[in-house]
């Protein structure tokens, strides 16, 4: 049996609809729609245009039906932490963007009631000022008792089915999810003055949420019986499912706008050392834990590209990476995790400011800046890998790079060099692959553990291997 499914994959800079074919010895994905995604600034702050994303998703599902009329189910994944407020069935405006400045107020309000040490013991999350609980604390009067909150992939699922649920892997990023019990932390919510009815019921990846609504069937051409299946709705959770970590010892870097760097464990790591290293424990598919650190990722390069384009330079990325790779002299390293790099803006100027403050030369040309970004990311990735291994007890012997970063040869090679470990690059579409695999297992097209699904990935997607060169560490 081969199942044909549609994966709606919403990233922080673009979204896609993919058609996947999955069976015992078959796994493939094909993009049928791609669309831009980015923040929209209104008088009250920075927002996502989720209505536009939903419209594009419907159009993409219509294309999926056109390309392959046998689509048997739909799965949705997206970035984490951001949400829309809902009263009844009415959505109260567009979700705030996690890069909006309002979250600082929420951090102060939460930590005044619950110290970070106690939060970490409950939710296992590294400190990020935009985590959902900080955003909710900044809401104020909007949070009445008849208001609920839906994270972005659950919001799209609500638009498709009319049903409100919270899938576990994305729920685990909110800060209101107990990482040990894998349930909402109602005691913490009461302490923070949040109603227990704010968050919908939890479902695990693989749950059938419900059939699509009649008007969705009309808009897409899909059968009205087509189910929406909860997948690893946090895109990193789906990416980790789609990473060919068949044998013990594999670490992963899901590299796109962000670099999610870590290992998979059976249980959360809640030690003082993990908290002090600012590592996070997020829910994975099949009860696993994603023990990882968030690194700023290729956002540094894409935002620099936007700055150069506004200045009329309009550099070609492939040419720029080639020029960066050809540089033989040293370039400065900077702290890729510095908070100043979080907000949109002139990234080269901010990197230059960091260099000036720390007494290191500022990269001059775009090629030098690009090489500095790549080297700094590679060092941050390598450091996070070794720290993850030390804190978790996992003996890492190789690094899997998936997502868009798997196409960046310079970044993959420098990560291998600096970590002193081989890098296995691919699949690029690991998030969509993981989304498709969970749907396929729910439909009965495949069966077995995560490892058996990953073996199917290994057998169907040829990786590229980058061996470490030179004594970088």
**Domains, the chain:** 2-218+227-235 (3.30.420.40), 245-425 (3.30.420.40)
Tokens representing residue 59 in the block: 């159009």
Predicted local distance difference test score (pLDDT) of residue 142:
64
Q: What percent of the chain has pLDDT over 90?
A: 88
Reply yes or no on whether the pLDDT at 113 is more than 50.
yes
Instruction: List Cα–Cα distances, 398 to 63, 374, 382, 394, in angstroms.
Output: 38, 20, 11, 11
Predicted local distance difference test score (pLDDT) of residue 103:
82
Q: Do residues 32 and 63 touch, judged by C-beta distance below 8 A? A: yes
Predicted local distance difference test score (pLDDT) of residue 253:
98
Predicted local distance difference test score (pLDDT) of residue 102:
85
Predicted local distance difference test score (pLDDT) of residue 280:
97
pTM, full prediction: 0.93
Reply yes or no on whether the pLDDT at 471 is more than 60.
no
> Using CA atoms, how far apart are residues 173 and 98, in angstroms rounded to an integer?
13
Predicted local distance difference test score (pLDDT) of residue 89:
87
Helix axis angle, 409-419 to 317-326, nearest 10°: 40
**What is the H or E stretch that residue 290 is in?**
strand 289-295
Burial string for 414-453 (b: 16+ CB within 10 Å, else e) reads bbbbbbebebbbbbbbbbbbbbbbbbbbbbebbeeebeeb
| pLDDT tens track for 425-439 | 999 999 999 999 999
Q: Do residues 430 and 402 touch, judged by C-beta distance below 8 A? A: yes
Spell out the alpha helix ranges (H) of 242-397. 272-276, 299-310, 317-326, 347-357, 366-392
Reply yes or no on whether the pLDDT at 470 is more than 90.
no
| pLDDT tens track for 5-40 | 999 999 988 999 999 999 999 999 999 999 999 899
User: Sheet containing 90-91: which strands, arranged edge to edge?
Assistant: 90-91, 83-87, 147-151
Instruction: List Cα–Cα distances, 105 to 138, 193, 199, 239, in angstroms.
Output: 6, 15, 22, 32
Reply yes or no on whether the pLDDT at 111 is more than 70.
yes
Predicted local distance difference test score (pLDDT) of residue 55:
98
Reply yes or no on whether the pLDDT at 200 is more than 70.
yes
Average pLDDT, the chain: 95
Reply yes or no on whether the pLDDT at 140 is more than 80.
no
Predicted local distance difference test score (pLDDT) of residue 473:
45
| pLDDT tens track for 364-395 | 899 999 999 999 999 999 999 999 999 999 99
Torsion of CA 30, 447, 72, 434, to 10 degrees: -40
> Using CA atoms, how far apart are residues 270 and 260, in angstroms rounded to an integer?
18
Question: Which is catalytic among the residues 77, 82, 185, 235?
Answer: 235
Q: How many residues does the chain have?
A: 473
| pLDDT tens track for 222-280 | 999 999 999 999 999 999 999 999 999 999 999 998 999 999 999 999 999 999 999 99
Instruction: List Cα–Cα distances, 277 to 120, 180, 294, 388, 418, in angstroms.
Output: 12, 20, 11, 9, 19
Reply yes or no on whether the pLDDT at 337 is more than 70.
yes
Predicted local distance difference test score (pLDDT) of residue 300:
97
Q: How far is CA 189 from the centre of its chain?
A: 25
Instruction: List Cα–Cα distances, 294 to 168, 259, 274, 430, in angstroms.
Output: 19, 6, 13, 18
Name the pLDDT band for 141 (thresholds 50, 70, 90).
Answer: low
At residue 149's C-alpha, the angle toward residues 144 and 154, to 5°, is 160
Catalytic residue list contains 316: no
| pLDDT tens track for 288-324 | 999 999 998 999 999 999 999 998 887 889 999 999 9
């Amino acid at each position: 049996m081969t199942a044909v499914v549609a994966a709606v994959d919403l990233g922080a800079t673009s979204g896609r609809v993919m058609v996947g074919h999955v069976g015992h010895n078959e796994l493939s994905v094909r993009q049928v729609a791609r669309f831009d995604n980015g923040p929209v600034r209104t008088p009250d702050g920075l927002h996502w245009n989720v209505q536009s994303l939903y419209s594009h998703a419907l159009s993409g599902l219509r294309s999926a039906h056109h390309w392959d009329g046998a689509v048997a189910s739909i799965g949705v994944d997206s970035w984490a932490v951001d949400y829309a407020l809902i009263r009844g069935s009415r959505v109260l405006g567009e979700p705030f963007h996690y890069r909006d400045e309002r979250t600082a107020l929420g951090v102060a309000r939460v930590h005044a009631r619950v110290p970070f040490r106690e939060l970490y013991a409950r939710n296992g999350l590294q400190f990020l000022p935009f985590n959902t609980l900080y955003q909710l604390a900044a809401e104020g009067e909007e949070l009445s008792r008849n208001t609920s909150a839906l994270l972005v992939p659950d919001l799209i699922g609500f638009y498709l089915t009319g049903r409100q649920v919270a899938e576990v892997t994305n729920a685990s990023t909110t800060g209101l999810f107990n990482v040990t019990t894998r349930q909402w932390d109602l005691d913490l919510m009461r302490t923070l003055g949040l109603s227990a009815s704010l968050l919908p019921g939890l479902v695990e990846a693989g749950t059938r949420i419900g059939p699509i609504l009649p008007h969705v069937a009309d808009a897409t051409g899909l059968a009205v019986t087509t189910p929406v299946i909860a997948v690893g709705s946090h895109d990193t959770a789906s990416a980790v499912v789609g990473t060919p970590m068949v044998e013990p010892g594999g670490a992963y870097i899901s590299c796109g706008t962000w670099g999610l760097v870590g290992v998979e464990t059976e249980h959360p790591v809640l030690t003082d050392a993990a908290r002090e290293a600012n590592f996070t424990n997020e829910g994975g598919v099949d009860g696993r834990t994603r023990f990882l650190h968030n690194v700023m990722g290729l956002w540094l390069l894409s935002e620099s590209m936007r700055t150069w384009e506004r200045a009329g330079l309009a550099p070609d990325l492939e040419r720029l990476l080639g020029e960066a790779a050809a540089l033989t002299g040293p370039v400065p390293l900077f702290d890729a995790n510095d908070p100043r790099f979080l907000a949109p803006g002139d990234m080269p100027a901010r990197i230059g400011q960091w260099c000036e403050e720390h007494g290191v030369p500022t990269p001059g040309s775009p090629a030098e800046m690009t090489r500095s970004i790549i080297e700094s990311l590679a060092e941050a990735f390598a450091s996070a890998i070794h720290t993850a291994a030390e804190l978790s007890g996992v003996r890492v012997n190789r690094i899997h790079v998936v997502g868009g970063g798997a196409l960046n040869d310079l970044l993959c090679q420098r990560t291998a060099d600096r970590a002193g470990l081989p890098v296995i690059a691919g699949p690029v579409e690991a998030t969509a692959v993981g989304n498709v695999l969970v749907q396929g297992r729910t439909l009965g097209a495949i069966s077995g553990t995560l490892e058996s699904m990953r073996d199917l990935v290994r057998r169907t997607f040829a990786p590229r291997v980058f061996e470490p060169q030179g004594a970088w560490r």
